[in-house]
Structure 1
């Protein structure tokens, strides 16, 4: 291992010296970062040297810098990252012009050998979600989001500690740290907590009377629902008053009809004593006229009395029974007295039930 490391260090040093010589006339940040990274790498400070070389590659991408970065990551112990860098170099090498390929020397063969040796040491990590994980659950590995196709697959990782998170849309994040060793394959079952259900909204309050009035008939008609039936008892007072009025009117009519009828009979006796056929003296004629007037009044009073009593009776008999709040009620009735001819009256009752 020491012999290989010394050989690797010598190769890196020669690459660094060649690059430094080429850039001596025109120093730039990429070259300065590369020189610093190689110096730290030679000192065994890989955790500082590799990031410096990586920065140089970002500033000025070059095949030699990429190859040196792959070797640094391998010495650092980040086997999966080193393999990824060697793969980048091997994919780039065939695209180089022949002259530039010759300048690379034996780096292609070295990259293949080192990659093959590292592949046996690369650990793998398989992440599994529960079957009931909601769609859209996000999974990250060391802060990097993973594609859905990566879930359940064996992912090459560097040896050491890794942090995995899983989070359902709108739910809390689940986080777990795992430690993997060289050549170890580990499966991690992730936990996912669904978001809490939204708070239940209280039912809207029933529309007030004023709101109904503001809405007008258009809103009610659009809904297609009949107007709410009044609660039982809302019209009972009016019906009872009508019964009392009709009954009182009927009783008064009957009393008046009886009194006027008695007076008319009394006048008939006077007419019989003072009239002979159609010829009457003064007293007889006066009694005859009074008898006709009283007879007509008695007839009308009896008619009104009968009509009032009948109306009161009908109202009582047709009084609606209590109904539930949702039952439809369309029963109605109306009664009255209508005159008939010159001296008669009739009870007029109309309704539906």
Structure 2
């Protein structure tokens, strides 16, 4: 069981036992984000008009800049669609399809206009056309001596080592490819690829005589080792909470017994709960009520302490040390006392 579930269980136990603690999340709930202001909307309209004018003139860089400004303000399907269109005109097909897919996946609202709905539909159709036009590169690596591992860059992007055997999607145009590997000469070449083209790129490595350092082996994960660290924070929390809980239960049992004894003494000489005036019996009744309140408090504290101790011990046994690595999220329990109630509030 992971720590998030354990924290939920602990919170439920505290709420069930006490019912008086107010969650910290309720005290610090974030206010909902406000939408764009009238000035924001007017700015976005002006940017969209500017962007469409630049788009019609063929100045796609300026159009993209304007459309992106409007999209940052509004973030709706119509602004995102034009960002994707401008990227497509600039030949940045990978980014264009990513943006168009983002627009197509914006959830439809019941109150949205026909313009926003049509923009979503257009983006969904356009991204399919763009996807078919994106070219790809197939890398073939030769001459590489073991245990060297290559690093391949396309422009500024590093190709993940575990994907070198898979086709790599790129924008159409010319790309600078740099390939390096320990103990081998660096390779640099320019590759030009057209739309819809799948091109094979052979990288022929040549040894340079330098020693090849094998990649470091990953260290085995042996789990948390606390043999030399003494008791963890969770263990200490469990022991303290368990001790407090046990003391609370003992207090509740003892004072509960005393309350019953005083109540029995107060009823002596009474007939059908009708008692003659007797200062001693009235004192016993008052003492019985007071002891009953103390007993209830003791049982509540005992139950909470037992619950906290149980959760702490389970988290310790499952190896969850998040409370130790993140002190601000460690388990904390604070008693609450007030007129007519007793409870606790805690952080788990």
- Give TM-score scaled by structure 2 length: 0.42
Structure scoring higher RCO (CA < 8 A, sep ≥ 6) equals 2
- Give TM-score scaled by structure 1 length: 0.41
Larger Rg: 1
